[in-house]
Structure 1
Amino acid sequence: MTDSAQQAGKKQHQAKSKSSSAYGKVWLFFMYYWIIFGIGCYFGQFLPMSWRQPLSFVLLGLVLITVFFNRARRYGLVISHIYTIVVGLLSYATFTAYLQNLGPEVFYKNIALAIAAFIVFGIIGFFLIGNAASMGKYLFVTLIALIVASLIGMFIHNPIFHTIITVVGLLLFLLYTLYDFNRMKRGQFSPREMGFNLFINLLHIIKYVLRLANRVKR
């Protein structure tokens, strides 16, 4: 084997090791954010009702700041932690309501279904699609439309309108999962940011699946 071939093989091995290390860090951050969420969710049972609406507006504000202001990315570490804690505090009441309405068996089956969908779309994005970079702009536009529709939905109590929002939201975060796994394959990610993105994707998929199941049961 020539020196150039040995160097090429060495570089290839280093690249694979670096990629494996980065993937490992992504899943560590993924679990890290779920742990923070779980802690927030636990303390959510002690959250006074009067605090929930203000915290909901704080959560919406964080989403809007992150979406519309590029400078917010500089504070991504802080914002991601605040977001995860706040969404955890607010999610306790949401999950408790779904557990009571659906019953334990249906509740956990739907969570399992959401996790399975997350894995399937992740596999599709990582192994079956070459380059999904062009999806990003369409997903972003859909996300903006979903945020606007959700704001409008606060003043419109139409079951069909809210069901459409739920279905669109579920499809959006499934596609975001596909898109993010594809970014991982192409190496266009930082471990912390990707771990947080995948946490957000799965959380929203679970919430939208439970919301849809709850609406179907009515």
Structure 2
Amino acid sequence: MADSAQHVNHKQHKPKQDKSKARAYGKVWLFFVYYWIIFGIGCYFGQFLPMEWRKPLSIVLLVLVLFTVLTNRARKYGLVISHIYAIVVGLLSYATFTAYLQNLGTEVFYKNVLLAIGAFIAFGIIGYFFVGNASSMGKYLFVTLVALIVAGIIGMFVNNPIFHTIITIVGLLLFLLYTLYDFNRMKRGQYSPREMGFNLFINLLHIIKYVLRLANKFRK
């Protein structure tokens, strides 16, 4: 009798859990779209950003990211920082995307964007459906991220094609693995919708940028 009662109780709770999970997932994707909109607004105004402001703004952005990654400020001021990041990255991305569009041509440009989106979806599916628990990856991804940020700052003052190609390949692999890791976190319920929506936005944006950068480097 007790087993039967537990079974009935479990059946009653499961729909509620499924609805709660679906609502949380819905919020994640709403925040994901929201940050893309903020980025798009920044990107639009990026056409008016003077070229001489790009490098100083890039350095400030990298230092801000490094500071928030290495301290606990990201949690306390996460909402503010995420908006600043999305806007500033949008401002800086206008010239970057315009250059890639001109260099690669419209067809190749959008094919590579679609390739990046496909890779994002593929790694998300792997992380959600095929990986049991990816929590142990977190510390390795974090160390690689810090190293990549530092390398990015150094790269602003070093004009070495091989160095920049290595950064690009490492960055692409890092954010593909972060996508796998974040989707796995979603499956395990270890996230907040706003933070996860922002993380997925960042992952996809960087994957697109790194794919375009590689395509631009190896274009015929």
Pairwise TM-score range, normalised by the shorter structure: over 0.9
Aligned residues: 218
Instruction: State percent identity of aligned pairs.
Output: 77
Q: 1:186 aligns with which of 188, 199, 212?
A: 188
Cα displacement (A) at 1:50: 2.8
Cα displacement (A) at 1:145: 1.3
3-state SS in 1 of match to 2:159: coil
Cα displacement (A) at 1:68: 0.6
Cα displacement (A) at 1:71: 2.7
Q: 1:174 aligns with which of 173, 176, 190?
A: 176
Distance 2:193 2:72 in 1: 19
Q: Could you tell me which residue of structure 2 aligns to residue 101 of structure 1?
A: 103
After TM superposition, list the pairs within 5 Å mapping 1:69-218 onto structure 2: 69-217=71-219
Distance 2:53 2:161 in 1: 27
Distance 1:167 1:105 in 2: 23
Q: Which runs of 5+ in 2 are unaligned?
A: none
Query: CA deviation digits over 1:9-39, x for unaligned, max 9?
Result: 1212211111111001100000000011011
User: Cα RMSD (Å) of the superposition?
Assistant: 1.3
Distance 1:214 1:119 in 2: 23
- Comparing 186-195 and 141-150, the one that deviates more: 141-150
Cα displacement (A) at 1:3: 4.3
Query: CA deviation digits over 1:147-193, x for unaligned, max 9?
Result: 12222222221111111110000000000000000000000000000
The 4+ residue runs of structure 1 with deviation greater than 4 A are: none
The letter of the residue matching 1:175 is: L
Q: Which runs of 5+ in 1 are unaligned?
A: none
Cα displacement (A) at 1:114: 0.2
Question: Given that residues 113 and 211 in structure 2 are in contact (C-alpha distance below 8 angstroms), is that contact kept between their aligned partners in structure 1?
Answer: yes
TM-score, normalised with respect to structure 2? 0.95
Distance 2:73 2:21 in 1: 28
The letter of the residue matching 1:148 is: V
Question: Given that residues 66 and 146 in structure 2 are in contact (C-alpha distance below 8 angstroms), is that contact kept between their aligned partners in structure 1?
Answer: no
3-state SS in 2 of match to 1:67: helix
Question: Given that residues 59 and 153 in structure 2 are in contact (C-alpha distance below 8 angstroms), is that contact kept between their aligned partners in structure 1?
Answer: no
Cα displacement (A) at 1:7: 2.2
Distance 2:55 2:167 in 1: 20
Distance 1:44 1:30 in 2: 21
Cα displacement (A) at 1:56: 1.3
Question: Given that residues 62 and 153 in structure 2 are in contact (C-alpha distance below 8 angstroms), is that contact kept between their aligned partners in structure 1?
Answer: no
- Comparing 192-201 and 146-155, the one that deviates more: 146-155
Cα displacement (A) at 1:6: 2.8
Q: Could you tell me which residue of structure 1 aligns to residue 45 of structure 2?
A: 43
